[in-house]
């Protein structure tokens, strides 16, 4: 994960320098705060990947001489059909409509959101149903 | 049903090539609602965003009709404000972004890197539902008593507060953007996670296709920028309904703060829109010149530079406020021209000494190249504050961004012609495609070039009538002819889809293309690959098909590993 | 370019550096100006103020560069697609990088961009310069008209939409403008000054206009401000200093109040521009 780490840390460093120059030179705080936060956002995964890349051996996708056979086995868990994204989406839709049409929309909205979160988590743990 | 992928070919295949489990899943509407397959989700996004393109385009045609006379009465002043607000909003928030980073990217990125799906399939599906409901929410404004949002797609404070824009239309606009904003953020997460974690063996970072690289950088930009917009919108909603004074002078707030927050998102947003299309065009030009991408690492460096710089240029949209640091934003904005120029030269270098063939996709990519050059050059003027002072908020700016955006549309159409066969299994008719191209390309120039002149002659943007300046009518009419040609080209596209429906089977690799997605069937099977080739460069399919015309990437060893060139192994 | 007054604290190193830079850039800009009859206008106009002319020459310089670079790149594209169009089925040489060339087209644009930046800064400093002067106009934008008041006098001009109130100012004089808004953001734009600036609520934007030509110039609001944004017209009338003095003197408190009430009572709500009423003030 070295390339990923360097890319993110590099971006973060660039934002940091830009932030230092801008915040000092301008008379304006909002931009400075936003650029600073952008820098932190890049450093967060970047440093995580950096420290991991030093500890782990090359994954098959980081190995320029890997064979396809080296990637055999479990790739990951890919939930097939699931009703929960749709349910959560409809719940979020109703929550937003509550912002416009009245707080009573929050009842079905938050209800669907909670149901979807519970159902989706259970599905993930249990392995889901057909 | 959760698929844990473990030697799927151990499962007996049915004669029609589907794996056993698929026959017992849901079908019809229920299948669509519960799908987590990135190809179906991506296709849903693509179809929905093209419908948004048509809706936004209809608004545009009404706008052009209203501007046909200096004192047009086709629509009222208030309706006109709604029209251009929703035209911009639909085109940017609901068409261009989703088409680019969630439509084609959803379908293509996993198969370009040899992954079975996106990293978080259910989150992917959620993104689509948030996008669909967000679009409906925003457009629902038209059905409210006060009409849709009418404060411009940028919703500057204090115009967007509850005193100046009461009514549900504005709140529906804000709500719609909250939904689509989260949709985009989740897609950004999915893009980055998929590209970081699900590449096939041998597909190192510097062997990924340029389209995938661009999507990775787009994903990072989404994560950096969209939360800022979402926060700004929530604050706007609070100002409108909870009595806060964040953006209003009365309570000690600062209206210009909205502009800082909005444009801090707004400028990376235009690169979020552009980078995917840059990636599409890169792939198309390489394939139809029968050469590798020229300056592969330079392209990546340019893309990263654009992303890095884009976070530091937002206030070039605010030069005329008088309260921003002009020199800083000027030099940063001028510098973005440099990586863009590198890309243009690399595209030319890809064609140089190649064998260029003019399929519809390639024509669209060339149209993109010329149009983006024009739009990009006019952008350089806008990076200079003195020049921006007299072009800001005039039709010069309108022409600039329409040049650039129409270039992206050309690139997007190229993407559809190029990857359409991979996604659907059928080619589109080339002759109708070429007709579409000529109407789109020429229409774009006829549409934008008069607007540059109108802006220089002082025509402001967002005006419904121009009674004092009847001399602007002629250029407006030329521009409207161009707009009509663009509309006609869109119609031709729809005709092409209808006429070519299931007519010309494509096969795995109709273009003799280079990247990994062309190795699998058209359309790809469930979980994308039956077999994967050895990956030793950024062009694994090309290396497999043309081993004698391989190119050596930087620093690669000429090491064929345990497999002879051309051999494949079943997908893990 | 001369500055009429030195900054009160003397000439700083920064000022010296900009002056030296100005001399370096002034020469090519001046050459461009001298060649003004042969350099095309590229759509812009030299305008009626001192800084509108510098802006115009900057525009010409940028346009020349854009035309040359754009033309060169388009020629390259055309050459590539014509010369290297497919002639058969052979696969061309798979070249994919050329470091010296790539370095060249990275470094040269950076140099060009810095040149553009320096030229920009020179003109920008002229445009934003705001020297002390004794002619000041307070410009107040509101939904949907303009109010021009002249502090220290009784002169006030106000009008809505197509009444197009007229801001009178003297020629060949630095006129200091204080620009603000009483409600939403508006844009103060005069095409022939090659200039615009936002009128922001709660903020006083200050800049200087120095007209070098008499005449009446049209202005309009350029920042979306609601329903009548399209019709928020105004005019700027540049007159000789003596005419200006006469005009100012013609204002008494009575005429000011009368003009103000006339303006607010005439609401424009149709799309048809109203007949040009005697816009309050201009004699």
- Has residue C271 got a pLDDT over 50? no
What's the token pair of residue B113? 């890197």
CATH number for the domain harbouring residue C261? 2.60.40.420
Contact C127 B345 (CB under 8 A): no
Tell how strand C145-149 and strand C156-160 pair up.
antiparallel
* Residue B4 pLDDT grade (very low, low, confident, very high; cuts 50, 70, 90): very low
- pLDDT of B24: 61
User: Which of A47-56, B25-34, B197-206 is predicted least confidently?
Assistant: B25-34
Domain that holds residue C49: 13-84+96-128
Distance (Å, rounded) from C-alpha B320 to C-alpha B159? 17
CB B337 within 8 A of CB B344: no
Does C touch B (3+ CB pairs < 8 Å)? yes
Confirm whether C271 is domain-assigned: no
- pLDDT of B549: 87
- pLDDT of B14: 37
Q: How many CA atoms lie within 13 A of B331 on its CB side?
A: 14
Contact C96 B295 (CB under 8 A): yes
What's the token pair of residue B152? 């411009």
ipTM for the complex shown: 0.95
pTM: 0.90
Using one digit for the tens of pLDDT, what is the confidence trace for C201-241?
999 999 999 999 999 999 999 999 999 999 999 999 999 99
Phi, psi torsion values for C250, nearest 5 degrees: -70, -10
Q: pLDDT > 90: what percent of chain B?
A: 89
Contact C218 B344 (CB under 8 A): no
Q: Are residues C246 and C142 in the same domain?
A: yes
Contact B348 C77 (CB under 8 A): yes
What is the domain class of B35-549+565-570 according to CATH? mainly alpha
* Residue C269 pLDDT grade (very low, low, confident, very high; cuts 50, 70, 90): very low
Strand segments, DSSP code E, in chain C are 135-142, 145-149, 156-160, 166-170, 175-181, 186-190, 195-199, 205-209, 215-221, 233-239
Interface of B with A in 254-313 (CB under 8 A): 257, 260-261, 264, 304, 307-308, 311-312
Q: Are residues C21 and C122 in the same domain?
A: yes
Interface of C with B in 258-277 (CB under 8 A): 271-273
Phi, psi torsion values for C32, nearest 5 degrees: -65, -40
The predicted model gives B173-179 an average pLDDT of: 97
Distance (Å, rounded) from C-alpha C84 to C-alpha C238? 59
Q: Are residues C66 and C152 in the same domain?
A: no
Using one digit for the tens of pLDDT, what is the confidence trace for B308-359?
999 999 999 999 999 999 999 999 999 999 999 999 999 999 999 999 999 9
Give the three-state DSSP class for B455: helix
**B377 to chain C: closest CA residue:** C66
Confirm whether C254 is domain-assigned: yes
Q: Are residues C79 and C100 in the same domain?
A: yes
Q: Are residues C142 and C104 in the same domain?
A: no
Interface of B with C in 253-292 (CB under 8 A): 254-256, 289-292
Candidates B329, B460, B511: best to mutate against C (most CBs of C within 10 A) is B460
Contact C273 B292 (CB under 8 A): no
- N-term to C-term CA, chain A: 36
Tell me how far CA of residue C200 lies from CA of B321, B324, C130, C227, C240, in angstroms: 8, 13, 19, 18, 31
Using one digit for the tens of pLDDT, what is the confidence trace for C132-191?
999 999 999 999 999 999 998 989 999 999 999 999 999 999 999 999 999 999 999 999
Q: Which residues does B154 contact at the CB level (< 8 Å), separation at least 6?
A: B88, B262, B266
Q: Are residues C156 and C44 in the same domain?
A: no
Confirm whether C217 is domain-assigned: yes
B535, B540, B545, B550: CA torsion to nearest 10: -90
The predicted model gives A61-83 an average pLDDT of: 83
Distance (Å, rounded) from C-alpha B100 to C-alpha B42? 10
Q: pLDDT > 70: what percent of chain A?
A: 97
Using one digit for the tens of pLDDT, what is the confidence trace for B271-284?
999 999 999 999 99
Contacts of A65 in chain B (CB under 8 A): 202, 557, 559, 561
Q: Are residues C56 and C20 in the same domain?
A: yes
Confirm whether C24 is domain-assigned: yes
Cα angle value B295/B299/B304 (rounded, 5°): 150
* 3-state percent breakdown (helix, strand, coil) of chain C, nearest 5: 40, 20, 35
Confirm whether C91 is domain-assigned: no
Distance (Å, rounded) from C-alpha B257 to C-alpha B386? 23
- Has residue C283 got a pLDDT over 50? no
Contact B312 A18 (CB under 8 A): yes
Contact A42 B129 (CB under 8 A): no
Count of Cβ atoms closer than 10 Å to residue B54 Cβ: 15
* Residue C8 pLDDT grade (very low, low, confident, very high; cuts 50, 70, 90): very low
Q: Which residues does C103 contact at the CB level (< 8 Å), separation at least 6?
A: none
- pLDDT of C39: 84
Q: Does B393 touch chain C (CB under 8 A)?
A: yes
Q: Are residues C217 and C155 in the same domain?
A: yes
Using one digit for the tens of pLDDT, what is the confidence trace for C18-70?
555 555 555 555 555 555 557 888 999 999 999 999 999 999 999 999 999 99
* Residue B479 pLDDT grade (very low, low, confident, very high; cuts 50, 70, 90): very high
Confirm whether C190 is domain-assigned: yes
Q: How far is B19 from chain A (nearest CA, A)?
A: 13
Q: How far is C242 from chain B (nearest CA, A)?
A: 30
Confirm whether C146 is domain-assigned: yes
- pLDDT of C35: 55
Residue whose entry in the numeric block shows the structure tokens 């190795």: B519
- pLDDT of A66: 86
Contact B384 C62 (CB under 8 A): yes
Q: Does C111 touch chain B (CB under 8 A)?
A: no
B118: left (phi over 0), alpha (psi -120 to 50) or beta: beta
CB C123 within 8 A of CB C226: no
CB B68 within 8 A of CB B476: yes
Report how many domains make up chain C.
2
All chains having 3 or more CB pairs closer than 8 angstroms to chain B: A, C
- pLDDT of B554: 44
Q: Are residues C148 and C257 in the same domain?
A: yes
Of the candidates B206, B260, B571, the beta carbon closest to that of A3 is on B206
């Amino acid at each position: 994960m070295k390339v990923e780490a360097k890319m993110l840390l590099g971006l973060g460093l660039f934002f940091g320098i830009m932030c230092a120059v801008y915040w000092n030179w301008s008379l304006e705080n909002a931009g400075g705060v936003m650029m600073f936060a952008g820098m932190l956002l890049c450093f967060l995964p970047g440093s995580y990947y950096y420290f991991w890349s030093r500890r782990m051996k090359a994954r098959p996708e980081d190995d320029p001489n890997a064979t396809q056979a080296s990637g055999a086995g479990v790739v990951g868990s890919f939930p097939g059909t699931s009703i929960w994204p749709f349910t959560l989406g409809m719940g979020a839709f109703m929550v937003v409509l509550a912002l416009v049409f009245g707080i009573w929309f929050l009842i079905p909205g938050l209800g669907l959101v909670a149901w979807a979160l519970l159902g989706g988590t259970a599905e993930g743990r249990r392995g889901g149903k057909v | 049903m959760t698929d844990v992928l473990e030697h799927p070919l151990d499962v007996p295949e049915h004669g029609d090539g589907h794996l056993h489990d698929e026959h017992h899943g849901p079908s019809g509407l229920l299948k669509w609602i519960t799908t987590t397959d990135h190809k179906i989700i991506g296709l849903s996004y693509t179809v929905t965003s093209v419908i948004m393109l048509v809706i936004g385009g209809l608004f545009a045609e009404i706008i052009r009709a209203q501007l046909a006379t200096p004192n047009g009465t086709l629509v009222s002043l208030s309706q006109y404000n709604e029209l251009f607000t929703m035209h911009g909003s639909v085109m940017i928030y609901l068409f261009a972004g989703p088409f680019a980073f969630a439509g084609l990217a959803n379908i293509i990125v996993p198969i370009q890197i040899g992954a079975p799906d996106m990293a978080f399939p259910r989150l992917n599906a959620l993104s689509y539902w948030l996008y669909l409901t967000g679009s409906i929410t925003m457009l629902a404004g038209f059905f409210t008593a006060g009409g849709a949002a009418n404060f411009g797609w940028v919703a500057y404070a204090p115009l967007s507060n509850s005193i100046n824009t009461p009514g549900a239309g504005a709140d529906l606009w804000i709500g719609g953007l909250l939904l689509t904003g989260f949709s985009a953020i989740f897609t950004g997460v999915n893009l980055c996670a998929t590209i970081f974690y699900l590449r096939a063996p041998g597909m190192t970072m510097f062997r990924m296709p340029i389209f995938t690289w661009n999507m990775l950088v787009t994903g990072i930009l989404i994560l950096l920028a969209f939360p800022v917009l979402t926060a700004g919108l929530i604050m706007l909603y609070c100002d409108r309904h909870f009595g806060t004074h964040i953006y209003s002078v009365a309570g000690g707030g600062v209206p210009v703060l909205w502009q800082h927050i909005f444009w801090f998102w707004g400028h990376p947003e235009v690169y979020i829109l552009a980078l995917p299309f840059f990636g599409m065009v890169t792939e198309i030009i390489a394939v139809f010149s029968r050469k590798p991408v020229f300056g592969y690492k330079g392209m990546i460096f340019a893309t990263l530079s654009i992303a890095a710089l884009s976070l530091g240029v937002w206030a070039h949209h605010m030069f005329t406020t008088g309260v921003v640091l002009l020199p800083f934003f000027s030099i940063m904005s001028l510098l973005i021209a440099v990586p863009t120029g590198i890309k243009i030269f690399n595209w030319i270098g890809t064609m140089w000494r190649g064998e260029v063939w003019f399929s519809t996709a390639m024509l669209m990519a060339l149209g993109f190249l010329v149009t983006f050059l024009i739009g990009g050059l006019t952008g350089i003027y806008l990076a200079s504050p003195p020049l921006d002072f007299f072009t800001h908020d005039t039709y010069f700016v309108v022409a600039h961004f329409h040049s650039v955006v129409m270039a992206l549309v050309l690139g997007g159409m190229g993407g559809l012609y190029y990857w359409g066969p991979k996604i659907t299994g059928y080619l589109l008719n080339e002759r109708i495609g070429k007709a579409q191209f000529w109407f789109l390309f020429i229409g774009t120039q006829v549409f934008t070039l008069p607007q540059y002149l109108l802006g220089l002659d002082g025509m402001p943007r967002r005006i419904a009538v121009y009674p004092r300046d009847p001399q602007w009518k002629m250029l407006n009419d030329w521009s409207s002819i161009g707009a009509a040609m663009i509309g006609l080209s869109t119609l031709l596209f729809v005709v092409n889809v209808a006429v070519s429906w299931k007519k010309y089977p494509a096969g795995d690799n109709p273009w003799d293309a280079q990247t990994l997605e062309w190795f699998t069937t058209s359309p790809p099977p469930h979980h994308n690959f039956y077999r994967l080739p050895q990956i030793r460069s950024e062009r694994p399919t090309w290396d497999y098909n043309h081993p004698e015309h391989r190119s050596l990437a930087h620093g690669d060893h000429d090491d064929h590993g345990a497999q002879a060139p051309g051999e494949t192994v079943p997908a893990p | 370019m001369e500055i009429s007054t030195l900054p009160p604290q003397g000439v700083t190193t920064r000022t010296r550096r900009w002056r030296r830079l100005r001399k370096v850039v002034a020469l090519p800009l001046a050459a461009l100006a001298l060649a003004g009859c042969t350099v095309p206008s590229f759509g812009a106009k030299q305008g009626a103020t001192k800084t509108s002319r510098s802006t115009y020459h900057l525009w010409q310089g940028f346009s020349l560069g854009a035309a040359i670079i754009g033309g060169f790149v388009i020629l390259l594209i055309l050459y590539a697609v014509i010369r290297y169009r497919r002639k058969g089925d052979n696969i061309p040489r798979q070249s994919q990088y050329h470091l010296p060339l790539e370095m060249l087209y990275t470094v040269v644009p950076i140099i060009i961009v810095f040149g553009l930046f320096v030229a920009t800064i020179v003109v920008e400093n002229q445009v934003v310069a705001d020297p002390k002067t004794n002619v000041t106009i307070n410009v107040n934008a509101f939904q949907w008209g303009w109010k021009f008041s002249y502090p220290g006098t009784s002169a006030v001009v106000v009008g809505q939409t197509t009444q197009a109130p007229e801001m009178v100012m003297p020629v060949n004089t630095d006129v200091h403008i204080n620009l603000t808004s009483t409600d939403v953001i508006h844009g103060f734009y005069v095409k022939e000054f090659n200039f615009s600036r936002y009128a922001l609520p709660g903020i006083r934007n200050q800049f200087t206009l120095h007209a070098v030509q008499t005449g009446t110039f049209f202005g309009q609001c350029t920042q979306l401000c609601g329903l009548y944004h399209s019709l928020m017209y105004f005019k700027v009338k540049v007159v000789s200093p003596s005419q200006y003095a006469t005009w100012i003197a013609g204002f008494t408190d009575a005429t000011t109040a009368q003009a103000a009430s006339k303006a607010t009572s005439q609401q424009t709500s149709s799309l048809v521009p109203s007949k040009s009423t005697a816009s309050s003030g201009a004699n």
